[in-house]
């Protein structure tokens, strides 16, 4: 159980006696290549596939009673979720500064007001999101799992610019993971989405703005399990009967209303309100079309309706201005 205690990845293990018979662990664990010469006590690494998941395997042969002919094989494998997450974070670390520098340059460039209807904000956000997990819960609860909460929390980042009162924005939101467990197994659910938004500053003063907006983007909900999800969610992918990680993708429509308050750094110039900003947004995400399930980047048939769609309320803090 200790080997399996990982919320981010699935962990598999196997122990074989000198005759190649299973002592403990997974019986379908792939073996090292036949042409590999055992080196007792040396830990080896390789990439492999276990139950349809790409894994990183650490393995070693251990001698019994110092007898080099009686070797016990021990193998431990972990899926590559944390590695994928790290790669994503590296990409974010490269890309985020690109769209951070641009809006900051727009906001900070120049000392004179450019227009009475221009501005923008660079922000970090945190808030709550109401999901519809009823279809998913109805399937997992029959197998003894606790249902996932409809209300979840998340965080994100983004920016928007206002030009002649027309708002153009881009943001990315990540939904925190939830864990559901049965007597012996566990499920983890999380999600994310990106959104391109257009709006209009209906109320526009140097310190305060109100703007309705509409957005279009794509979102995904990720479900990982310590057991195969094929029968649990009634999904199939050809002959693959060991789907332990699935993604539900949807195009999303965003309708919302936002307000922004800015504390100007130059109070002596009432027409130039640039400084720390706080904003509040409320809206609803609508899923467009049916949920598209996939596993290992390949389509999956079946599965319940699931998306990041639903009501949200979030607080945004950052740097902004309106001129």
Q: Which domains does the chain have, with CATH numbers?
A: 11-79 (3.30.450.20), 81-322 (2.40.160.20)
Within 13 Å and on the Cβ side, how many CA atoms surround 79?
A: 21
CA 81 – CA 284 distance, rounded (Å): 30
pLDDT tens across 121-168, in order?
Answer: 999 999 999 998 888 988 888 888 888 988 999 999 999 998 888 999
Q: Residue holding tokens 């962990």?
A: 11
Q: Residue holding tokens 């393995």?
A: 59
Confidence of residue 1 (pLDDT cuts 50, 70, 90): very low
Mean pLDDT (whole number) for 64-69: 71
CA 96 – CA 109 distance, rounded (Å): 20
Beta pairing partners, 223? 189, 246
The pLDDT of residue 8 is 59
Mean pLDDT (whole number) for 193-222: 91
Mean pLDDT (whole number) for 40-69: 82
Mean pLDDT (the chain, rounded): 82
């Amino acid at each position: 159980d200790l080997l399996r205690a990982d919320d981010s990845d699935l962990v598999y293990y196997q122990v074989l006696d000198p005759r190649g018979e299973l002592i403990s662990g997974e019986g379908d664990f792939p073996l090292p290549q036949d042409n590999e010469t055992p080196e007792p006590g040396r830990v080896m690494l390789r990439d492999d596939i276990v139950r349809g998941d790409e894994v990183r395997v650490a393995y070693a042969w251990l001698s019994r009673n110092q007898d080099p002919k009686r070797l016990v094989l021990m193998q431990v494998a972990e899926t590559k979720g944390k590695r994928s997450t790290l790669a994503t974070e590296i990409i974010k670390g490269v890309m985020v500064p690109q769209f951070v520098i641009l809006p900051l340059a727009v906001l900070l460039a120049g000392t004179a007001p450019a227009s009475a209807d221009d501005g923008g904000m660079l922000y970090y956000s945190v808030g709550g999101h109401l999901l519809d997990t009823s279809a998913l819960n109805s399937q997992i609860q029959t197998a003894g799992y606790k249902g996932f909460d409809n209300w979840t929390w998340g965080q994100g980042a983004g920016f928007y610019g206002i030009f002649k009162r027309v708002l153009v924005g881009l943001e990315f939101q990540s939904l925190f993971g939830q864990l559901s467990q049965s007597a012996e197994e566990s499920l983890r659910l999380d999600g994310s989405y990106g959104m391109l938004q257009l709006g209009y500053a209906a109320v526009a003063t140097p310190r305060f703005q109100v703007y309705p907006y509409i957005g279009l983007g794509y979102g995904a909900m990720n479900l990982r399990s310590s057991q195969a999800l094929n029968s649990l969610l009634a999904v199939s992918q050809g002959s693959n009967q060991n789907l332990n990680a699935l993604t539900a993708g949807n195009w999303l429509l965003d309708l919302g209303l936002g307000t922004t308050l800015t504390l100007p750094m130059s109070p002596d110039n009432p027409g130039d309100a640039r400084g720390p900003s706080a904003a509040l947004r409320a809206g609803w995400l609508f899923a467009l079309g049916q949920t598209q399930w996939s596993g290992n980047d390949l389509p999956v048939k079946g599965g319940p309706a699931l998306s990041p769609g639903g009501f949200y309320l979030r607080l945004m803090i950052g740097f902004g201005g309106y001129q």
